[in-house]
């Protein structure tokens, strides 16, 4: 049984081994806010809900956490992504739920067996 790993707090170092495209892909799958630092020195916090790698100019789309407005950013304008927000899916996977259900069921069966003598 594998434990689920969260990317919460992850501050990747973009390199030849870990490309910006790969980091953005992880940000797209992440169920929490991230902080995107841009090549112009600014940073923005929000939720990445889409990306398009096939576009002539690949871009990400996010909902800005402070203004709750939709933003589009080109990959070319992004320096890095840090996983700063709480991972809202941590420990809440379907597998975790099934395991909890199974544990609860076994506990109920044991209680019923005990009370039945």
Partner 1 sequence: MRRERYPLVLMLEPLLRCNLACAGCGKIQYPPHILKHSLTVQQCLDAVEECGAPMVSIPGGEPLLYPHIGELVSEMVKRKKYVYLCTNAILLREKIESDIFTPSKYLTFSVHMDGLREEHDESVCRDGVYDEAVNGIREAVRRGFRVTTNTTLFDTASPLRVREFFDAMMDLNVEGMMISPGYSYDNAPDQEHFLGRDKTTSLFSQVLSGKKRRWKFNQSPLFLQFLMGKRDYECTPWGNPLYNMFGWQRPCYLLQEGYAPTFRELMDDTGWDNYGHASGNPKCQDCMVHSGYEPSAVQETFTSFKGFKDTVVATLTGKL
Residues that bind partner 1 in the complex, under the rule CB under 8 A: 28, 31-33, 47, 49-52, 61, 63, 65, 68, 85-86, 88-89, 92-102, 104-105
| 39 vs 110, beta carbon nearer partner 1 | 110
- CB of 7 or CB of 96, closer to partner 1: 96
Residue 11 or 67: which CB sits closer to partner 1? 67
User: CB of 16: closest distance to partner 1 in angstroms?
Assistant: 26
Distance CA 20, CA 72 (A): 16
CB of 109 to partner 1, least distance (A): 13
Q: Which element (helix H / strand E) includes 103? A: helix 94-115
Beta-sheet strand order (sheet of 59-64)? 70-74, 59-64, 43-52, 34-38, 78-82
Q: How far is the CB of 90 from partner 1 (least distance, A)?
A: 9
Whichever of 68 and 114 has its CB closer to partner 1, that residue is 68
Residues 6+ apart with CB under 8 A from 116: none
Distance CA 9, CA 12 (A): 9
Minimum CB separation of residue 15 from partner 1 in Å reads 26
β strands within 27-92, DSSP E: 34-38, 43-52, 59-64, 70-74, 78-82
């Amino acid at each position: 049984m594998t434990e689920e790993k969260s990317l919460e707090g992850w501050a990747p170092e973009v390199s030849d081994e870990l490309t910006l495209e790969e980091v953005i892909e992880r940000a797209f799958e992440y169920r929490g806010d991230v902080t995107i630092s841009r090549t112009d020195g600014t940073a923005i916090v929000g939720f990445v809900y889409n990306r398009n790698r096939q576009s002539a100019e690949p871009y990400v789309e996010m909902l800005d956490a402070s203004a709750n407005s939709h933003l589009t950013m080109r990959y070319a304008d992004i320096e890095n992504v840090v996983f700063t927000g709480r991972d809202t899916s941590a420990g809440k996977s379907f597998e975790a739920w099934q395991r909890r259900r199974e544990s609860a069921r076994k506990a109920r069966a044991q209680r019923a067996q005990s009370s039945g003598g």
